[in-house]
Every structure is written in structure tokens, then in C-alpha cells.
Amino acid sequence: MIVGVIGSGAIGPDLAYGFLSSLAGPAFREEENKVYLLDIKKDALDAGVERINNYIKKALARGKVSDKVAAFIPKALVPTMDIQDLANCDYVLEAASEDLKIKRAILRNLEEVVRPDCLIGFATSAIPRARIAAEALHPERCFVNHPFYPAWRALPIEVVSSGTDERFSTKMLDVLQKLGKVPIITADVPAFAADDVFSNYICEAVRIVEEGIATPAQVDQIVNSAIGGGGPLNVMDLTHGNVLVVHIQELMQEVGGDWFAPPALLVKQGTARWRNPNALEDSTHTEAQAKQVMDRILAVLIGRAYAVAENGVCEASDLNWLLRMSLGFNEGTLDLGKKLGAEKVAELCLKYAKANPGFPVPKCIAEKKLPTYLRDVKIDRDGDIATVMVRRPELRNALSMQTVAEIKTVMRKLNADSGISGVVFTGYGGALSGADVNEFTSLTTRKQTEGICYKAHPAQKVISGMKKPVVAALDGPVMGGGSEFSMVCHARVVGKNLLLAQPEVNLGIIPGYGATQRMPRIIGVEKALELLRTGRSIGAEEACAIGWAYGEPVDDPVQAAKDLIREHIAGKVKLAPVDPAPVTVPDPIPDIDLGHRSLVIDTLLVNAVKEGLRLPLEEGLLVEARAFADSKETVDADIGIKNFTQNGPRVPAAFMHE
């Protein structure tokens, strides 16, 4: 892919570095990928290149990138001051200015250079797409692409399309995903979704300071302690965002009224900092101050979030994820509203509206009927085939208990839906990592440890027992619990970037979501034991060759899964869940080189396989759950889990074999 980034100022170099890092993924070809960084000022261009080189050095020093990737990025980066160099770009992102006139001028010049099928994005926090593209020759290929801080690694990017050509919209979303972003579709309104909430949140913090209720240090301390996010005014200092927030508020004021006007203190502050980084500021405060500050902050945050959802600017599940990821809060803003409850949310917002005329209270809040949504799972329909996607890309789609519960709920509904003939199960980008490590490390009793297995079993039983075919579509890392949920499906198709493993033994535990019972039934006992006991990862070719996946690796696993479902419906192939009958286990078990892995964990794993496979599947799963709890109680589990959380998966644990 050939990409252009216009503007080597605040975010352009960060975007270029992020794009280059994604293009240097496992399937990249060096000669086919290039990122141009364009600026009209040489000193800005030189500074941008220097920043990118510093990012590479830091990433190398921290082991975040390989030598190969570090060598690729400078070669694929092309700094230029000549817009003609962008002629062959597939996608160009303008990130030079928040000035509408400048954006339009850049667009005019760009359209004279690039191909008619070149996608054009505009990095803007608030200017509606219709205003930017009003004079475009090809408006259908012009999009708002609003990234977030820090632009090189922040996953979400808001997308506003023309809505006139679905081909361009589909292509835009695909390109952004390949460039490492998670596109969130929003309506074409001032400030879109996230900055409507964020900018008004900042303004409320400023008003609190302006009214003498709390100092900037106190506001930051109170807010960050309550909901995370670093503190609103601290964030303003980090992003140098005062002037931009004023601009955003003025745009919202045009359509929303005077409550959206930027506070006078914010306008006066200009580019000055709110906090003194060289001073030890006093952030101590009273409980009364904290309550007063948080009541107002929550009213604005939650009120604007539900307004964005209610007004159709952004789908509720997307919005909840977007706000958590872009604003850095501990949880999604809609999750926060759900936790507080409809009564409390209404109390906060109605009280605030009474004291602040013009503040719009959404109908769903006033009527105490907050919208429902799925936090971790997305459903898409293509005719009579549904796609169920786990969307937790920041955690490689790790399966938390809430995720598992949502999967169960969704699958039950689809099984009962007469309009659905088959289901594709996947993760965002094709990845499905294991159980949520944060949840796993919090388990303190044997009952809790066995319990997470017993919570997963009903969801898996729903999937395997569905009356219509369920096919897993996988690409990228599929690890532990992700692999185990995939094996519950009636078939699996994989992309060429698949990396499959049951790595539990590297953490000093055994699988708990069924791998010891389903994998041997799918690929045979001997091959399954080798993979389970070593934690060895395999690629797409081997996964297909051993029968774990269907057919051959494909370019588009989701489409291939849909095609396979249609073949099943037509009677050309027969898809079915794992045969639950007992399986003969070889005796003796073949010897294998365990390397550094724990001997005590290996014994527990092998015994779980041997004892469980002699029984019907459902009983074998109970054997595994008990052995999983046994493994968690070992010294080696403590060593392995601590090693993983502190050093990551690449550093082998020094097991004690006890």
C-alpha cells in the first residue's frame, strides 16, 4: 500500500510512524509499501523525520519492534515537499491544519495529482465532512478520519463518509484496519462523537476552576481518582489543546446553542498551561469539593454521551468503546451510566440542567430508560448469515467473563432467529486471544478457578448445539481460550496470518475451556498432546494440514466462512460439532521434549487428557476443569503467571516443577 500523510506538525509524523509499523506486519512486502510525509516547510519535515527515528530507537530498545521492522521503516518513509510525489498513493490523510480554508485548498491541489480512486481523509476534530468536501471533484472518496492522541498508537479513528458510494466506504474501512486503526463510523455533525463528549467535559472542568470551586490540580486529582483519564486539565497541557477546544465549542455552539459556548477562562488561557510541571501543586481537597466536582463532571460526561447515542451520531456499543479508548477512562462512559443506574443519571443531569439553562438532557435520561447495548460483541447480518465478532482489539479480543456471557446471549438469539441460516464467529481482525489475564490473576480460591470453566461451558454448549452451522473465521493470533471457543464451532477457516497455540503450559497451568478434550477429538490424540504439552504455535498451513482448520488458508476468512456455510446449506458439505464420544488414548503416552516447561503441570495435563477422553465429552470437560484448578494451586503456576505478567510471553519462566 502507498500512503501519503500531509503535514509534519503535531500529529503527521506520529500517523506516518503508526502506518509504517502496521505495514511492516507479518505479511508485508517491502517493495509494495511506502509512506510519504509531505510538508511545505523543510524544518518541519526534518523535525518529523527525526521524531520518527526517535520512536524507532525507543521501540528497539524496549523490544517492541524487530530489527527487520526497524530497518524497514526508514526505507519506506519518503519525506517530500512536492505534492506530485503523492500521485500513486492509494490513500492520503491530510493532517496539516484545523482551518477549513486550508483544508479545502489542500484538497484542490491534491485532486489534481492523485488518481480518481485514491481515498482522501481529513484529520479534523470537529469540522463536518460536508464543509470540507463541498468543492471536491470526487466527494464520494473524501472522508473525515479523526485520529486520537497519541496518534501513532491510539487504536480508534472516527470515520465520516459521503454515504453515496458504498464501495469507497468499504475500501476506506479496510484500508484503515490494515493501517492499524479501528474505524468507528459517526454521523457528519460538528465534533462527531468523541470530541462532543470530550470537549464539553473539558469545558465543565474549566468552569469549575473559573467559579473558584477547585483549582486545576484539585480538579485533575478528583476526576482521575474517580474515573481515570489523567485529569482533564492535565490532558489539555499534554495535548496543547486549549485553542482547539475553543474551536470545537464554537462549531457546536452554532448548532446547539449558547450552553456550548467556550468558557471565557478557556479563551483567555490560550496556549498557556493549566498546571506547573516544575512545582509541587497542592491537590488536597474536601469530600464536599469532590462531590461537587464529580456531580458536575458526570452530568456533562454522561449527558453528552447518551445524547450522542440517542441522536444517532454513533451506535451505542461503538461509542462506549470509543470513549473509553480515546479518553483513557477506566470504563466506557455508557458503562459508567449503566453502573450508576437510570435514577442516579437522571438526578445528576436534571439537577445540572436546572442550574445551567440550555444543557440538553436526552430523552432516554429524562424518562429513565437508558439504552441497552453489547460491550464486547458486535453482530453483522449478510442476508441470512450473521457474523458474531468479539471486539476488544486493545486486548487481542481476550475473552472476559462478560464477553463469554454476551457470546452466549447473542448465539441463543441467533439460534432462535428464523431469518438466520448460519453464523460466522470471529474476532476483530481475525484474532482471538485467550481468557482475560486480568480476571485470571484475580482468582484466589479453587472454587473461583473451577468456576470460570463452568461459566464458559454453557456458552460453548449453546454454540456447539446450535441447529444452524457455526463456522469460526480466524486470522492472526488465536491463543488459549480463543482457540478453545473456535473448536466449539462446527468448522474453522483460517487466513494466511493465523498463529495458533494453546500456550497455557508456558504460564504454569493447563487449558480450562476444553482444549484437552476437543483438540484430541479434532486432530488426533498424539498431535494434540504434542501441541498441548509444548505450547508450540503453528501457522495456517499446518493448522489446515492436521485437520484443525477446513481446506486451505484463505485471503478473506469471513467470506470463506460464509461460503462454507452456504455449501453446508446446499448439501455439498456437512458441518457438525465435535463428536462427543469417548476416544481411545495410546498407552504408553509418547515421550516428548518439554524444554523448560513444568513437569508437574505436564503430569496434570496428560492425566486430564487420558482420564477425560475415556469419558463422553461433557464429563471430560469436568475432569479438565478440576485439573485446571489443580494446576492453579501449584508453585509453578504462581511462577509462570508472574513471569507472564511482568515479562510477557517471550521470556521463559524458571519453573520449580512443584
Q: What is the crossing angle of helices 446-464 and 401-416, to 10°?
A: 20
Do 194-366 and 377-647 show the same overall fold?
Answer: no
Domain range 194-366, its CATH number among 1.10.1040.50, 1.25.40.420, 3.30.300.30, 1.50.10.10: 1.10.1040.50
Residue 7, C-alpha cell as written in the block: 503535514
- The per-residue pLDDT for range 400-433, each reduced to its tens digit, is 999 999 999 999 999 999 999 999 999 999 999 9
CATH C-level class of 377-647: alpha beta
- The per-residue pLDDT for range 170-211, each reduced to its tens digit, is 999 999 999 999 999 999 999 999 999 999 999 999 999 999
Give the DSSP H/E element, type plus range, for residue 501.
Answer: strand 499-501
- The per-residue pLDDT for range 28-46, each reduced to its tens digit, is 566 689 999 999 999 999 9
| pLDDT at position 532 over 90 | yes
- The per-residue pLDDT for range 509-522, each reduced to its tens digit, is 999 999 999 999 99
**Which ranges of 614-651 does DSSP label H, i.e. alpha helix?**
617-632, 635-647
In the prediction, which pLDDT does 649 show? 86
For residues 365 and 371, give the distance between their C-alpha atoms in angstroms, rounded to a whole number. 9
In the prediction, which pLDDT does 30 show? 62
| pLDDT at position 166 over 80 | yes
For residues 601 and 592, give the distance between their C-alpha atoms in angstroms, rounded to a whole number. 14
In the prediction, which pLDDT does 434 show? 86
Decide: helix, strand or coil at residue 99: coil
Task: Measure Cα distances from 259 to 204, 205, 255, 347, 357 in Å.
Answer: 11, 14, 11, 19, 7
Residue 494, C-alpha cell as written in the block: 483460517
Tell me the mean pLDDT in the region 352-374: 97
In the prediction, which pLDDT does 411 show? 98
For residues 434 and 306, give the distance between their C-alpha atoms in angstroms, rounded to a whole number. 32
Question: What one-character DSSP code corresponds to residue 38?
Answer: E
Q: Look at residues 292, 405, 391 and name the one whose alpha carbon lies nearest to residue 332.
A: 391
In the prediction, which pLDDT does 441 show? 84
Q: Which residue has the cell 480518481?
A: 116
For residues 511 and 526, give the distance between their C-alpha atoms in angstroms, rounded to a whole number. 17
> How many CB atoms sit inside 10 A of residue 312's CB?
10
Residue 42, C-alpha cell as written in the block: 523543510
Q: How big is the CA angle at 405 (ends 402 and 409), to the nearest 5 degrees? A: 135
| pLDDT at position 648 over 90 | no
Do 561 and 472 meet the contact criterion of CB atoms below 8 Å apart?
yes
Residue 29, C-alpha cell as written in the block: 512486502
Per-residue confidence at 84, pLDDT binned at 50, 70, 90? very high
In the prediction, which pLDDT does 26 show? 58
CATH C-level class of 2-185: alpha beta
Q: What is the longest distance spanned by two Cα atoms in the chain?
A: 80
Boundaries of every domain in the chain:
2-185, 194-366, 377-647
Strand locations in 81-181, DSSP E? 91-94, 119-122, 142-147, 156-160
- The per-residue pLDDT for range 232-285, each reduced to its tens digit, is 999 999 999 999 999 999 999 999 999 999 999 999 999 999 999 999 999 999
Q: What share of the chain has pLDDT > 70, as a percent?
A: 99
Question: What one-character DSSP code corresponds to residue 477?
Answer: E
Residue 79, C-alpha cell as written in the block: 519525506
Decide: helix, strand or coil at residue 339: helix
Per-residue confidence at 398, pLDDT binned at 50, 70, 90? very high
Question: What one-character DSSP code corresponds to residue 116?
Answer: T
Give Cα 214 to chain centroid, integer Å: 35
